[in-house]
Structure 1
């Protein structure tokens, strides 16, 4: 494996984001709260608006995009909280540090954007994801929600757990309002 680099996409690179997002949805349909059949129907204007809503970070192995994560403001009223979402890594590179580089870049971006916390929702049945987030420094909370899925054939009742990464000097200072 060559050196993996991570960079933020510019607004003009919406097609790059679209392509990697659709690749992720095709490869791991159960990992996302959307379906490839829905998102393939999105027009160019929607993709252009979507890339502007959040920072889209891609991992590259040379000229090949091998991963993606998004980081942006958490829906709701707490302006101190950023949310990390849409993490995907090419299956051939899983377990080789690509996800770590993406999450690290997302956390650094949230810090640069002056957030105090990064929120990351992880499936409670996904032990590997929970272990990964914990090893990075995300802490589990008692925040739970039903897995949000728009997939046509999804009958899953899996829950997600909110995990939080404090960006300030006091890692114990996680107010309940972050959830």
Structure 2
């Protein structure tokens, strides 16, 4: 278990990191299935090549300890023109999404999520010229909502239905970057 003062490094994920990407993804879907839209059963049988492609797809970050063990992850995805943006004119080309935020249970409460979110902000600005970060979080996920609030994410007033949990809403949160 990492100590509170153990160094944590946040790195971009590439295809060569496919195994740690896979391991975190499978763990997150088993540990907190209600927090993610994908299900473990949908991805568990992927081939090595499919995991490599996923790891090298949208920009993802991993927080790692001094031994190189992955402690957490998230993905950053630009929002461009498309059906979602056309339906909601409040979403613009400067909006970037933060997706699939996960910190392993043994690393929670040690600032790993904080480091991942700061790195996501930097990546979004440098790589996508982001004006605003958006994310969705279950109304039931109090720890994640508290993390996001600490980092300046505020409700936009938009919600969507959780894809698998009847009656549960996903709240859209936003953080201006400029």
TM-score, normalised to structure 2, is 0.83
Aligned to 2:155: 140
What pairs with 1:116-131 in structure 2 (closer than 5 Å)? 116-131=131-146
Contact 1:58 1:66 in 2 (8 A): yes
- The alignment partner of 1:53 has SS state of coil
CA distance in 2, matches of 1:144, 1:132: 19
- For 2:94 and 2:56, locate their aligned partners in 1 and report how far apart those are by CA, in whole Å: 19
Aligned mate of 2:118, from 104, 128, 132: 104
1:157 has 2:157 as partner: no
User: Which stretches in structure 2 are left out of the alignment for 5+ residues?
Assistant: 86-91
Q: How many Å separate the matches in 2 of 1:3 and 1:9?
A: 18
Q: C-alpha separation between the residues in 2 aligned to 1:157 and 1:74?
A: 27
Write out aligned runs for 1:50-65 (5 A): 50-62=54-66, 63-65=68-70
Deviates most, 126-135 or 53-62: 126-135
Query: With structure 1 as the length reference, what TM-score do the two structures score?
Result: 0.83
Note the residue ranges of structure 1 that are not aligned, 5 or more in a row. 150-154, 169-179
Which segment drifts farther, 9-18 or 138-147? Answer: 9-18
Match of 1:46 among 45, 50, 54: 50
Residue 41 of structure 2 is aligned to residue 37 of structure 1: yes
Summarize deviations over 1:3-23 as a string: whole Å, max 9, x none: 111111123323331222112
Runs of 4+ in structure 1 over 6 Å off: none
CA positional deviation for 1:98: 0.7
